[in-house]
Chains A and B, each alone.
Chain A
Amino acid sequence: MSAIEEVATEAPAVEAVPKRAMTLGFGTSLVVLGLLVIAPLFVKNFIVFQLTMLLIYALAVLALNILTGGSGQFSLGQSAFYAVGAYTSAILMEHVGMNYALTLPIAGIICFAFGFLFGQPALRLSGIYLALATFALAVAMPQLLKLGVFEHWTGGVQGLVVTKPDAPFGLPISQDRWLYYFTLVVTIGIYIASVNLLRSRSGRAFMAIRDNEIAASAMGVDVALYKTLAFGVSAGITGVAGGLGAIAVQFVAPDGYTITLAISLFLGIVVGLVEQLPASIVGSAFIIFVPNIAEGISKGLSGAVFGVLLFLVIFLVPHGARQVAIVAQQLIGKLKKN
């Protein structure tokens, strides 16, 4: 029985994109940005809260996008990094009394370190094995957070309540709206940084590893360093998203960060297409709104409806949002010719 496997017959983790940059055009970006700025002015506080969560999950999906779309590695364990970020922010705010905005960079740095360290063993794994190892991390995290040893800090099973920040300088807007704009600024900042990262030397190294690891190392790319770095960056951004999430929800508890969250984020990149950063927001919308839609269609069968919708996405638009965009472009092109 031969144990040799041809590389050529193996399906890649993600399909390579011909396009080098993973971004939208300048005009489209401005339109999207305009919509995001204006939207919360016309809706109720609860919807503003949902929009905030949309941005936060978009940030987490973006982080996973850098890892999977950028460097071709998998992770079903993003909820663990999200949880660490959330707890870091919550503990710093409630026990240390730090300003909420200052806790975010700290959450990011701690998660970066955590992700970088986890990236070390993950180096030796690829594909389904990596999925399994990260899956294990996600399942173990709530249990670790419940541990008696940390209970003084984490509040154990009960979790921690986080105070919601007021708008600064006496601005006459509600807490929810302020938090939305704060999240928007953070998200845009990280988005721009991510785009620049992927266009830099490091970003090209990530993509070279994704497309062909052996060729990349032959070209002098330090595969081990960049793979762990991708894990670290992804975890760091996820940590910031987690911190924002803790502030927005005003509560952290171990059961908020189960494997379900990790799976949601994973589905976010499957739907929001792997290689394009702006599509993260489409993925985020899918994971926030589709379960609600499914529940609306049938309460008892919400899981089944969700699964069927997911299969529909996989079969009809296997390349996610990008495919929709390309088809739309072709249609417009045809109409113009006529």
Chain B
Amino acid sequence: MKLSKANIHILITNAQKRFGLSYDTAKNLVKDFQNLLEKDDVTFIYELNYAIFHRRNHKFTKNILNSIVETYVYLYGEAKTKEDKETIRNNFEKLFDMIFIERCQYSKRLEEKSHRTQKILQHTTKRLNETLETQELMIANISHEMRTSLNAISGYLTIINDRDILQGEDKQYLNKATHATRTLKALVSDILSITKINSGQLEIQKENFWLDRMLLKCIDNVALMLKKKPKIQLQTDIEFIPYMVYGDQNHIMEIIINILSNAVKYTDRGYIKLKMDTHKISQEEIMVHFVVADSGIGMTKEQVSHIFSPYSRFKTERQGLGLGMHIAHQLAKKLDGTLSVHSEYQKGSIFTFSIKMCISKEGKIDVSKRKICFFCENNQNTLFHKRVEFLQQEGALVELFEKENEFVNYLLTLDKDVPDFISIASSFDGYAKYDALIYYLKSLPIFRHTIFIAENINQHISLNYFDEVYEHFSPITLYIRSEHKQKHKNGKKYDISILAVDDTETNLDILRLFISKQFPNITLDLASGGYEAIGMFKIKKYDMVMLDLKMPGLNGFEVFEKLKKIGPLPPVYAFSADIYKSNIDKIEEVGFAGLIEKPLQPQKLYNIIERIANETDY
């Protein structure tokens, strides 16, 4: 079989037109084809095969196929002899087989392999899900039991501590036991957080909140840790444009507290700087960067590369399991934020958490004509002064005192234009003194609506008459007109009835001790089981019910359903150590007013009771 010059010319022209080739390239291509046809040289087939693989373009492959078919059909028509026709047909079959048939066979093999892989993956997924379910159930059960026991231990320890009856060594033992319990509680909480994140149980709960207020709460949270390290100076550089944002406040706080705690843990002297930058992206959104820098022990490059892995705590002499940063990182990802770290060994670390949030339309700053009195004893803190300046710029009427006698004199001689807020940042032992003064001032009618704030207290001190107490500084948004409502500070006045139901005697005991300490006038009835609770509910009217969910006999949900049928329900709170999303969802679904977690967090319980008492005409 030999191609004529005319045919070669036609093939070159076709290749040029169809594939946009230069004359020389098309000529070489046709030359290879000619060699295939005339000498059975398979270079053309290999090159074509490679070109199809390399291009990976369906259109190109289709074009090649059309071109091959058309060329062979044309040449077959042009062939003069039977032998030539036979050669063309064989040649076409060989080319078609080597390129297309083999490719189809390869695809078929791939498909079969893909089926097998699919089967392996299905089996693996099934086993993985079973394992996860078992694991989740196991962790849920263990953590429930642990939280219940911890509730008893930490409750009794708090009560013993509050009674202040232990002396010397005994007091030290108590402190050590309290510390160990706190660590255990944090550990259980960390394990639960990880389990929740990994099993997709983490619930994003968005709400409106003030950014500065949230950040100061975070600082308050690590204040106790900081007090144990007097050689560390906490420096804050927080932008004082108060934004009310819409986001998951609790989880954002968890991330920041984790970073801050980490900084305190790994810094022994020097500074911890907390910075918050906001950058407005649009009218609706802002980007917030929280930066925590420390002069601590820093990390090597290798340590940095593992910092967000679980159990990455490489400094074994420090406390904790190394779950905190892993949780913070996972949470940041869940919130569509980023958490990054830059560190230099033995120099310090900088953690940056950035998150985009929506600006809430409800947060308007209005402090105009608000009368605020600041007493700041020997305070050189620039943050304090920046805050005062900001309030003044926004139209607040600010009185600022730095000397004690002038301040006390001012308070005692006031007979009109009483400040809406009196904010006191005193020396170490001054707060107790001012607490007593506030007791007196509150007895005067003109101070009826004044809010008393203790700021920068930096010590563990019990203040009874201040309305707000801040370890660091009070948030600027506290002074906004619509934000603050007068609180009934004196819990001793409340007189409501609560029914608490729990099968564990120690839980009821702890509850009784906490409630009676804070609210001596409250009537607390205790029931150790569902049937007993139902009986009591039938004969007495309660303002609040607390129901343990996991009880022998009737469980909490069943008791709740029966109570519903008896009559109008007061707010009924689930009292449980099972804080899995599935449980929380069920609690909401059936109509509980909320969940009170075990181990009991007294302040949260007090807030709930105060709210109910305020809503009840007691």
* Genuine A/B complex: no
**B residues with CB within 8 A of A:** none
**A residues with CB within 8 A of B:** none
